[in-house]
Structure 1
């Protein structure tokens, strides 16, 4: 009974333990301002990781999310700086991210490519497209009419809570509903559990894969908009390595890389664990080089522990 309880709630238990240990060593950790700071910093990775959860549940992987984030953010802010409405710029950026994600799904489902290879190729192509689009230089919103409205998306507040936190919560609530209360969610789990059996049951597996990668691309673009808005600029190298943080959040949240097992709620816990680790190391003035090593060790231990409990 105890083992089953631990297995089911190990991510939440880990999050609580991390928080308790860190709060003992640093009294500033549990302050309201710091908690809001953690949630805001975690929001971008959380949004990407929500989309990655859909992909991993099908037994796939998406390495292109960091590049999609960079390209969508660059397109969005360039439109804002050119005088287009913020609403139109956001819609165009989201459509671009969705199209790239859908293309990933088509390459994988119709082209029969391995997800790793297909999304690795897309990652490289889109990263190159970002460098071409930006000419290797940052793009800022400047003094355009919609600059302040655009900045509010990533840097604004509502009821003293950063807007990116609201966006993150909405994304996870919608993702949870889609996975747990709609037919599509059952198809995703079924596909990850046994693709052949899913095909034989009459489910259009190709359509599910295309839709799943479309969701991943859409949410990567949304994260790109939030990050670009917060920084008021689009960097040509934005999002490098973000796909790894997203995958790490999914794994730490208990989703199996072989597919069919996991939840989006676990993913947000995993994202918070990574955010808390980064925040704690920053509070302790630990070098960023060591932070990367510590994060890698935590992920490795989590995966080993997960294997041991299987």
Structure 2
């Protein structure tokens, strides 16, 4: 690594901490509290378990963040994950297809639903909240119908390993998937024309159209990516749970939204970073993990996450108002 590269790397690290010092302090404070009052929080096994749990949220949060950067939203994630898990396991356990084909069908279904969300948003003008809320209901209902209201179980160990296996018996595969997708997400948002177009459309859609950006294409691609990530999430969840469960993934979209806004993604559009998203995912995962270790009623987690979203959005509004005054 030459001196120029080292200086660029150091500047990047410094800028990262400068941008995210607030939520990094909050994350550190949580770890201290849970280490003191929790049971074996700061141990190697629990840290791996924490990251494994975070991975599921991260898959959805990557797509949700892109939608929020566009000043939109995607509420389909949890229900779509349930549907793809049910379809995937049904394919090779009930319909006698090869396992790899079942996995492919599951992910393809995620892509198709995401594309449908994007197309409807782009060409009908219906708000993304309404479109994805309706699609959430459709996906959840379809999952229950296909599974006949019961889990579709599997004892296929090769499939189970996708969600429960680990590299050399140390690093769980979901953590590896999460790392790969975060790197790809960073590359897309920061190093490609498509990524620049996402920020441009989210910042000012009218200006983006006048500058020659195909806004409809950007919207369709973003929600397609979000659907693909939900589909992959459903496969990993089904593998980890040894079956497709139509009830799985309930509330997952809330966690993904919370992680995004905590990480600095603005609901007004045009703002959001992958580094901030990862910290947001860690905070949401830490809350669930730490409270469970402290034997706190799990219902309090829903309350706390709701409060976090309200506070984060309010802070974002104050920032936006301050910027408008300065401008």
Give the aligned partner of residue 176 of structure 1: 186
Q: Residue 228 in 1 paired to residue 238 in 2?
A: yes
Is the CA contact (8 Å cut-off) linking 1:50 and 1:268 kept in structure 2?
Answer: no
In 2, Cα distance between equivalents of 1:35 and 1:131 = 34
Pick closer, same or farther for the CA change 1:284–1:226 going to 2, 3 Å.
same
Equivalent positions of 1:283-298 (< 5 A) are 283-298=293-308
In 2, Cα distance between equivalents of 1:178 and 1:219 = 14
Give the aligned partner of residue 25 of structure 1: 37
Give the aligned partner of residue 82 of structure 2: 70
Higher mean Cα deviation, 181-190 or 263-272?
Answer: 263-272
For 1:28-75, what per-residue CA distance to the aligned partner results, in whole angstroms no more than 9, with x for missing partners? 111100100100111111110011111111111011111110111111
In 2, Cα distance between equivalents of 1:34 and 1:298 = 24
Cα shift at 1:92: 1.1
Is the CA contact (8 Å cut-off) linking 2:39 and 2:294 kept in structure 1?
Answer: no
Give the aligned partner of residue 150 of structure 1: 159
In 1, Cα distance between equivalents of 2:145 and 2:254 = 24
TM-score under structure 1 length normalisation: 0.93
Q: Residue 251 in 1 paired to residue 264 in 2?
A: no
Is the CA contact (8 Å cut-off) linking 1:72 and 1:97 kept in structure 2?
Answer: yes
Higher mean Cα deviation, 258-267 or 286-295?
Answer: 286-295
Pick closer, same or farther for the CA change 1:229–1:33 going to 2, 3 Å.
same
Give the aligned partner of residue 35 of structure 1: 47
What is the Cα-based RMSD across aligned positions, in Å?
Answer: 1.7
Q: Residue 103 in 1 paired to residue 116 in 2?
A: yes
Give the number of equivalent residue pairs: 303
For 1:62-104, what per-residue CA distance to the aligned partner results, in whole angstroms no more than 9, with x for missing partners? 1111111011111111112144322221111111000100000
Is the CA contact (8 Å cut-off) linking 1:105 and 1:214 kept in structure 2?
Answer: yes
Structure 2: tracts of 5 or more residues without a match: 1-15, 321-327
Cα shift at 1:152: 0.3
Pick closer, same or farther for the CA change 1:128–1:26 going to 2, 3 Å.
closer
In 2, Cα distance between equivalents of 1:112 and 1:129 = 25
Question: 1:238 is matched with which residue: 243, 248, 253?
Answer: 248
Give the aligned partner of residue 10 of structure 2: none
Give the aligned partner of residue 5 of structure 2: none
Give the aligned partner of residue 133 of structure 1: 146
Give the aligned partner of residue 7 of structure 2: none
Is the CA contact (8 Å cut-off) linking 1:71 and 1:129 kept in structure 2?
Answer: yes
Cα shift at 1:108: 0.5
Higher mean Cα deviation, 250-259 or 11-20?
Answer: 11-20
For 1:172-223, what per-residue CA distance to the aligned partner results, in whole angstroms no more than 9, with x for missing partners? 1111111111100000000000000000011100000000000000000100
Cα shift at 1:26: 3.2
In 1, Cα distance between equivalents of 2:198 and 2:55 = 24
Is the CA contact (8 Å cut-off) linking 2:106 and 2:231 kept in structure 1?
Answer: yes
Is the CA contact (8 Å cut-off) linking 2:75 and 2:132 kept in structure 1?
Answer: yes
Give the aligned partner of residue 116 of structure 1: 129
- What secondary structure, in the 3-state scheme, does the structure 2 residue paired with 1:280 have? helix
